[in-house]
Amino acid sequence: MTGKLKASLLAGVVGMAMVVTSGQATANDELKKLQTDPNQWVMPLGNYSGHRYSPLDQINKDNVKNLKVAWTFSTGVLRGHEGGPLVIGDVMYFSTPFPNIVYALDLNDNGRIIWKYEPKQDPNVIPVMCCDTVNRGVAYGDGMIFLSQADTTLVALDAKTGKKVWSVVNGDPGKGETLTAAPLVIKDKVYVGTSGGEFGVRGHLTAYNIKTGERVWRGYSMGPDSDILMDPEKTTHLGQPVGKDSGTNTWEGDQWKIGGGTTWGWFTYDPDLNLIYYGTGNPSTWNPVQRPGDNRWSMTIFARDADTGMAKWVYQMTPHDEWDYDGVNEMILADIDVKGKATKALVHFDRNGFAYTMDRTNGALLVAEKYDPVVNWATHVDMQTGRPQVVAQYSTSQNGEDVNTKGICPAALGTKDQQPASFSPKSGLFYVPTNHVCMDYEPFQVSYVAGQPYVGATLSMYPPEGADHLGNFIAWDASAGKIVWSNPEPFSVWSGALATAGDVVFYGTLEGYLKAVDAATGKELYRFKTPSGIIGNVNTYTHKGKQYIAVLSGLGGWAGIGMAAGLTEDTAGLGAVGAYKQLANYTQLGGVLTVFTVD
Amino acid sequence: MKCHPCIPVVAAAALFCAVSAGLPAAAHAQEGDKPYTVEGGKVDQGTYNGFRRYHSICHTCHGPDGLGGSFAPNLAESLKVLKFEEFIGIVAGGRQNVSASSESVMPAFAHDPNVMDHIQDIYAYLKARSDGVLGRGRPERLAQK
């Protein structure tokens, strides 16, 4: 165990010792083992390290052109389908957007429904979900399926029957607190985050006991050290102790109480270090003038002890955010050579357009480079202080309220949003779905009212000057910090990638294509148009010895809302005339699962 | 400009006075059939403010430029039939249409000063879009008189 417990923090953690012994053996060993079995897909990111990689190679770069649809399934829900299915044994599990139906489908019977769980939720939660009513998937552990409902209820379902085992309420939708992120199970605990950065919610990561649903710990993103579960001496930021009250004295007055830093992305885990990794979102409001200071620990990579929640190290990527560059994207844990040295690395493609390679054992910053050349809001990241060097022209804070700052790249959507990248240990490369969009941003005064939007900025988004496309799918070298190849895509790539030992990489597009490309060159090998735009994540598994590829279609999410009506034409005319036919001309809403195979 | 203190609003009918009381008249879009001024593609302060407020709160559901999204109706179309009173009633009180095939929820903004203090401006902006006198994207501001 790496983190050291502080007695003071343990007080109030009810019956933890007991809990640890009772549940640990089963779930712990089970999942640690299952995540290495390529025949199943037991967690949303494929394994604890977040690789989204499969050693399967039945489907490979030579025969992928023969890929064909094996079976399909309508989810019965229209909204944006992020996330993707799990496969445990002969059963496939997935969740839908609101109303958050969970399906268990029988792979022995072409996807016949074994059980279906549909929670009753107050529809008033719908309008407090900022960017569509998405749900990024369920988690499996200890014979149960865990669902994060939109209304913040965490439910444990019996994986065999779909019967509710327990449920617990994680937050208050009346204050704008919602849930969209998939939970993660580690040992005897299940971890959930929170959404609501556009409503002045204070983010946190919370661990519940897997057997009972009892809360074990909660670590906030900002506030007093005891709320964050942070030790001023032992928790470090780039090797230095964070010091006392960092989560309050970098805010004006009480603003940290509505400080944002929500935790709606992905969680990964290193069993040897016993650390759980994730990032925090934007500080509330989007008007930076209204919240002076660094606003710690919004926009931050957290490494916490999985048992106690104590923060071991943190790194704030975007102090005092002025562009809504949430830091929630997945932290991929890869053992790679970085600048010639074998490293237990953490690789993170941030919304702010920089790709970070860190030493995940201690939080040392090793590489920080732009993964889209158009990124312009900062020249570079100072490797000593870790601070981005902000370009005054693009600083919405320096330009001030009621001033429209133009031509900032990337847009608030980020160079990449939550759509998870993939890492192939075979090629050593990262495969990254990206956005290629810039923006104008005008901040103005807002008042906080609980449960009402707390935004305070207007944005227009458009393609970079002279560009005729809104997305790229790239291969990235995390040691050199360089793009290896880049495929332009007409729209943002909002789908999680999958790399396999068959030397192919799969991803979906907003027009609805499932594509397979050559892992070495990016050359397109296959495409198939599914019924709706893809913002879901591709997975793979075997059934009766045969390899399958599965993905959810269902246009929506931020991409769907922002783009379904077409982008604003502010500067689109400058060189991209006509390039932006409306996405609505290509595809419509509708949740469908498509499963592929080769004969 | 500092934000106006929150004015508690209970009924939509009370809004006119509440809103006008809180704001200097000059900052407003005008009332009546044409609550906006558009000259050579440039708009008055009020209509501009409406553009901003719309694009910080309403656009997530109603889409950029009032064009509708996958979530909520095209308001440029709606305002061809909706009267100001009806508009303000829906914005203040919200509306739901929830069934097996629909989960359409328009939130109630009666208690949100970020909307209610600017509702005439938001209306003016959307009306200008609806009347077809204002194009897409961020409008330029007319010089202040």
| Host domain of residue A376 | 5-597
pTM (2 d.p.): 0.90
Question: B1 to chain A: which residues are within 8 Å by CB?
Answer: 401-402, 444-445
Interface of B with A in 5-64 (CB under 8 A): 6, 51-57, 60-61, 63-64
- Please check whether residue B90 touches A, CB under 8 A: no
- Please check whether residue B81 touches A, CB under 8 A: no
A472 Cα distance to chain centroid: 18
- CB nearest B3 (choices: A127, A445, A570): A445
- CA gap A541, A108 in Å, rounded: 14
- Please check whether residue A447 touches B, CB under 8 A: yes
Check which CATH number belongs to the domain holding A29 and give it: 2.140.10.10
Is residue A494 within 8 Å of A419, Cβ to Cβ? yes
Pairwise CB contact (< 8 Å): A564 & B61: no
DSSP line for A106-152: EGGGTTEEEEEE-----GGGGGG-TT-S-----EEETTEEEEE-TTS
Question: A99 to chain B: which residues are within 8 Å by CB?
Answer: 103
- CA gap A237, A358 in Å, rounded: 12
The domain tally of chain A equals 1
Residues of A labelled catalytic: 324
Interface of A with B in 249-308 (CB under 8 A): 286
Pairwise CB contact (< 8 Å): B70 & A560: yes
Question: A78 to chain B: which residues are within 8 Å by CB?
Answer: 101
Mean pLDDT, chain B, as a whole number?
78
Angle between helix B119-130 and helix B84-93 axes, rounded to 10 deg: 130
- Cβ-Cβ contacts under 8 Å between A and B: the total is 114
- CA gap A272, A353 in Å, rounded: 30
Give pLDDT tens digits along chain A (599 positions). 333 333 333 333 333 334 344 444 455 689 999 999 999 999 999 999 999 999 999 999 999 999 999 999 999 998 899 999 999 999 999 999 999 999 999 999 999 999 999 999 988 888 888 667 899 999 999 999 999 999 999 999 999 999 999 999 999 999 999 999 999 999 999 999 999 999 999 999 999 999 999 999 999 999 999 999 999 999 999 999 999 999 999 999 999 999 999 999 999 999 999 999 999 999 999 999 999 999 999 999 999 999 999 999 999 999 999 999 999 999 999 999 999 999 999 999 999 999 999 999 999 999 999 999 999 999 999 999 999 999 999 999 999 999 999 999 999 999 999 999 999 999 999 999 999 999 999 999 999 999 999 999 988 888 899 888 899 999 999 999 999 999 999 999 999 999 999 999 999 999 999 999 999 999 999 999 999 999 999 999 999 999 999 999 998 877 766 565 555 554 443 333 344 456 777 788 899 999 999 99
pLDDT in tens, B70-106: 778 999 999 999 999 999 999 999 998 877 667 788 9
A432: helix, strand or coil: strand
ipTM: 0.77
Angle between helix B45-53 and helix B119-130 axes, rounded to 10 deg: 90
- Domains detected in chain B: 43-134 (1.10.760.10)
